[in-house]
Every structure is written in C-alpha cells, then in structure tokens.
Amino acid sequence: MQIEIRLFATLASYADHEDVDSDGCLSIEGPATIRDALLRLGVPEQDIKLVFLNGVGASLDSSLKDKDRVGIFPPIGGG
C-alpha cells in the first residue's frame, strides 16, 4: 500500500529516506500501523507528540490503509 507521510519541524529530516518518494509517499506492506511506518523511517517514538491520520487525531497504533495521509509533529516549544 502507499501512504502519504508528512514529518514536521525537527522530524522533517526523517522524510529524506530512500523509501519515501518525491511526493512524500511511502510504500509499506499491510497490514501496518503508523508505528510500523515510523519505525521503518527510523523516527524515535519519544520525539513524537501529535499524530494525525487523514486530518484527524490518531494514535501510533492506528491501522493504515492504501492512500492514507499521516502527519507527525514533535513537541514544539515557544514563548
């Protein structure tokens, strides 16, 4: 299956992976979860704060299906 994966802020460098194409899509064998996709890219779980699946809040254990869109954000500080 193909999923679109967007990694934001300090996580963006993990999207520069040989398995992610120029459109930000990752091919992954199913069944799979968001956690499976992030493990494949080497994203440290402790660096993840917010997870979105098709624009809705989700967990790392959410199941993926073909054409899903995943957004991952780290903790972001400001002031």
Q: In CATH, what number is assigned to the domain containing residue 6?
A: 3.10.20.30
Residues belonging to the chain: 79
Segment 63-68 shows an average pLDDT of 97
Q: Decide if 8 is inside a domain.
A: yes
Can you tell me which residue has the tokens 């963006």? 12
Segment 7-30 shows an average pLDDT of 90
Domain of 69 in residue numbering reads as: 2-73
Q: Which two tokens stand for residue 67?
A: 């054409």
Give pTM, 2 decimals.
0.90
Give the chain's domain count: 1
Segment 55-68 shows an average pLDDT of 97
pLDDT of residue 40: 94
Q: Decide if 21 is inside a domain.
A: yes
Question: pLDDT by residue (tens digit) across 28-44?
Answer: 988 999 999 999 999 99
